[in-house]
Amino acid sequence: MSARLRETPYVENFALVGGDYDVLALVRTPDNATLRHVVLELIQDIPGIRATRTWLVFEEARGAGAG
């Protein structure tokens, strides 16, 4: 799964996490149509991915500890 996510266009970053979800991916696309394509046709096609959940980021900020 990690290898496929690394190769997926527009996936900027991903992390294997614990808790309610197993993987958290940052997907940055130029528009909603591209986001739809990436999530529904590329990411959901990766073996081992059973479901996805999408949140939109309206604003980003970096903390003092960010390098």
Provide the 8-state DSSP code for 38.
I
Q: What is the pLDDT of residue 66?
A: 77
Element (H, E) at 63: none
* Cα 6-23-26 angle, rounded to 5 deg: 60
Domains detected in the chain: 2-43 (3.30.70.920)
Q: Are 52 and 39 in contact (CB under 8 A)?
A: yes
Write out pLDDT tens, residues 10-67.
999 999 999 999 999 999 999 999 999 999 999 999 999 999 999 999 999 999 987 6
Q: What is the pLDDT of residue 43?
A: 98
Q: What is the pLDDT of residue 1?
A: 86
Residue in this structure with the two tokens 């190769």, named with its chain if needed: 7
Please give the model's pTM, rounded to 2 decimal places: 0.84
